[in-house]
Chain A
């Protein structure tokens, strides 16, 4: 046992040294930026958690007869435990199956149980960080709200120290179970995807809060009834809820019950943690062996023959298109990559259906003949312009993600493109096509549906389509151009592909030139409304100048990107 703790301490110390060295190796401004970022995020979470704790204290006090006082601290601890459980699953998966140091450690003369436990505890600093910025302020303000005494705060400290153990152990156990049935790399991809989905779900819930909160706060709704429903959660035998009861007992001066409940929580959580770790350790060898021998799936002869016979477009395309075709295969297959497109993909229908719901007074009064004739007076409407702009921004937002990571996404396989006999221009063209072609398809479909629904004129629709394609091209081209100088090839987590500066600069350049070109495209509409005498001149000049601005920006962006390609992967 002494050897175990000695080895464990050694391994945890090594991990901390590695983390510290990683931080030290960064430049001064990067360290400062990281610290500022962490402090800002922590500040927001602490503020939110503190407000929540105080609010819950107020509710418990206001509806004292419902007995919520003993439930709320437990709910706070449960919510934090769920967050830790999710992150511990990802941490355990990465630390136990997807690191390069494991073979060295497992063959070193240190206790293998210590290696395993050290890996499980790998994320403990993060977990305690989560507890510190969420559970601690929420429990403190909850206690302040209910005027609890010092024993509450003392036991709250003991409780939060025990909180991460159970989810950490349980997360490791879950990892072992999943790794018995599925390859670890695939699990990580799915996990990344699920994580993104949850993030997007919360984001959408937040954005649509006005809709769903309406039911909650309707004048005829009874908050007491809702809180009675919440109160029923207290029957669930969760260790965190037991701890919460103990804290409330401490606050209300029931010392014996307080110590009993908190001791019960600590025994349960520590027992489950040790049990989970021991069981997970037993399961680990099987999962590891499975990963070492993970082979390819068996294919039928018919499938093999089909693949050999069907060259498809990839077998015939010119080099630049082959690059785009390759990207279109890789992005949907790699769920981690695909997850990056999810947020804008979820935003798109929200924006689009809101746009479609906008009433087009001008269009709806037009006859079919007027629509087909497309005379200038009936060609444009403010609704049409707004819809075109909405479609442009919502679709460009999706495919800009592909464009801005177009070089970084090559990662360790960059050498293939770098030694291939293709010009930088061809490569940039291929990368632009990878983002531009799906953009054209999606924006065209969306505009066509909107045009039919809103009965836009043919000329107006055509002009709108042209505007969307031109402005979309400039937004995507600036992102592709910036993807070369700020390329990050050494990534494993797709989030690390993107450079903040690269995104910022390309976004600013793209929006500036798209804004200017957009104004030039709108010149005929503006002239039609404000300077009717100049409408013909505006028709002659506006689109021409817009095409000029877009052409120059696209050419400049791709040329600048091409210049940097030689340097990509040098360091």
Chain B
């Protein structure tokens, strides 16, 4: 385990460049430092849990790696392709599901998936059966004939996931994928993560649900106040001890102070 600010994560890479590589990623808004220089090296085919308290910089980091936000400094690569300078090659390799699934409400489910398939240049002969299979998997086959604006939050979340998977990405970014999902759908996501791992897909998952991270993730990356404070497997984070991920998380992110607050309030 490493426990200093901005320490690179290095997971065991297979042949070729790492799935995700970030070097000195930094984002500032005026005086406010949202991300203070993040270094990451994520190997292929791994599930990585990206943990941190609210406002720690998780979503900003993911947005910079995926090209949604321009970094103030630093670079990010997806499978060796720079997200800013070789963006089309990089973008074609990953899928992304944001924390809030803002989808075009005036498109029907089918239209959305076909639109996504065309944006990612998937031939119709491949896209159509794949979309049908994803809709079946997420129990959205009937709803796919309706406008997305009529979907519940959970249905939109699943449709966003289907849209991110329709081009069979090699890297998948999931920002809080289980928020608003019922237990059945949340379980589906967990099963899906397992299947994606088997297929060799790298999953970079931001979540507050430590149970998912504990059960599914090969690696943990913990960010606090814009800087990475710990990386490694759960065993590495434990330092050979028996602490739970929750205890480790709280001790690293200052959450232990909350216990004191709770005592005062009690």
* Chain A residues proximal to chain B, CB less than 8 Å: 185, 294-297, 299, 303-304, 307-308, 311-312, 314-319, 322-323, 325-326, 329-330, 333-334, 411-413, 415-423, 566-567, 569-570
Central interface residue in B67, B68, B106, B121, by most chain A CB within 10 Å: B106
Residue of B nearest to A410 (CB): B104
Contacting pair B121 A319 (CB below 8 A): yes
Q: Which of A307, A322, A323, A416 contacts B110 (CB 8 A)?
A: A307
Is B88 part of the binding interface, using a Cβ–Cβ cutoff of 8 Å?
yes
Contacts of A330 in B (CB 8 A): 104, 106-107
B residues less than 8 Å from A566 (CB atoms): 70
B117 engages A421 (CB within 8 Å): no
Are the CB atoms of B124 and A316 closer together than 8 Å?
Answer: yes
Which residues of B sit under 8 angstroms from A304, Cβ to Cβ?
141-142, 144-145
User: Which 10 pairs show the lowest CB-CB distances between chains A and B?
Assistant: A322-B118, A296-B150, A421-B92, A412-B102, A296-B146, A421-B91, A420-B119, A333-B106, A315-B114, A330-B106
Q: Which residues of B contact A322 (CB under 8 A)?
A: 114-115, 118-119
Residue contacts A-B, CB under 8 angstroms, 17 given:
A296-B146, A304-B144, A304-B145, A308-B110, A308-B132, A308-B141, A311-B114, A311-B128, A316-B118, A322-B114, A322-B119, A326-B111, A330-B107, A334-B106, A413-B102, A415-B98, A421-B120
Q: Taking each of A303, A418, A419, A569, which has the highest tally of chain B beta carbons within 10 Å of its own beta carbon?
A: A419
Instruction: Say if the beta carbon of B152 comes within 8 Å of chain A.
Output: yes
B116 at the interface (CB under 8 A from A): yes
Bound state CA distance, A570 and B117, in angstroms?
26
Residues of A within 8 A of B149 (CB): 185
Complex contacts, A314 vs chain B, CB 8 Å: 111, 114-115, 118
B209 at the interface (CB under 8 A from A): no
Residues 134-160 of B contacting A (Cβ, < 8 Å): 141-147, 149-152
The reply to whether A569 and B68 contact each other, CB–CB distance below 8 Å, is yes
> Does B229 count as interface, using CB distance less than 8 angstroms?
no
A421 touches B70 (CB 8 A): no
Task: Tell whether A567 pairs with B145 under 8 Å between CB atoms, given A295-B152, A311-B128.
Answer: no
**A294-B150, A315-B117, A421-B91 in contact; A415/B128 too (CB < 8 A)?**
no
Tally of contact residues, B, Cβ under 8 A:
47
Q: With the chains together, A423 CA to B203 CA distance in Å?
A: 25
Given A420-B119, A566-B70, A296 contacting B151 (CB threshold 8 A) = yes
CB distance from B96 to the nearest CB of A (A): 5
How far in angstroms is the closest Cβ of chain B from A294?
7
Is A315's CB under 8 angstroms from B119's CB?
A: no
- Further pairs besides A315-B127, A420-B120: 11, Cβ < 8 Å: A185-B149, A304-B144, A311-B124, A312-B114, A315-B118, A326-B104, A333-B147, A413-B102, A413-B103, A420-B91, A420-B119
CB nearest to B104 among chain A residues:
A413
User: For residue B69, which residues in chain A have a CB less than 8 angstroms away from its CB?
Assistant: 570
Name the residue on A nearest B89 (C-beta): A421
Residue of B100, B117, B118, B144 ringed by the most chain A CB atoms within 10 A: B118
> A417 to B163, alpha carbons, bound, how many Å?
12
Provide the bound-state CA to CA distance between A296 and B148, in Å. 8
Bound together, the chains give a CA A420 to CA B146 distance in angstroms of: 24
Q: With A and B bound together, what is the CA distance between A317 and B1 in angstroms? A: 49
In the complex, what residue of chain A is closest to B92 when comparing beta carbons?
A: A421
Cβ contact within 8 Å between A419 and B150: no
Separation of A330 and B142 alpha carbons in the complex (Å): 21
The answer to whether residues A419 and B96 also contact, given A314-B114, A569-B68 and a CB cut-off of 8 A, is yes
Docked-complex contact A418 and B124, CB < 8 angstroms: no
Q: Which residues of B lie under 8 Å from residue A311 when comparing CB positions? A: 114, 124, 128
Per the bound structure, the CA–CA distance linking A415 and B100 in Å amounts to 11
B68 partner, pick from A299, A307, A419, beta carbons under 8 A: A419
Instruction: Say whether B102 contacts A297, CB under 8 Å.
Output: no
A418/B121 contact (C-beta < 8 A), A296-B151, A308-B132 known: no
Residues of B within 8 A of A315 (CB): 114, 117-118, 124, 127-128
Give A523 Cβ to nearest chain B Cβ, in Å. 42
A415 to chain B, nearest CB (A): 6
Nearest B-chain residue to A298, judged by Cβ: B142
B26 CB, min distance to chain A CBs, angstroms: 15
Is B23 part of the binding interface, using a Cβ–Cβ cutoff of 8 Å? no
| Residues on A with beta carbons closer than 8 Å to the beta carbon of B116 | 416, 420
Give CA–CA (A421, B83) in the complex, Å. 10
For A329, give its contact among B106, B127, B146, B150 (CB under 8 Å). Answer: B106
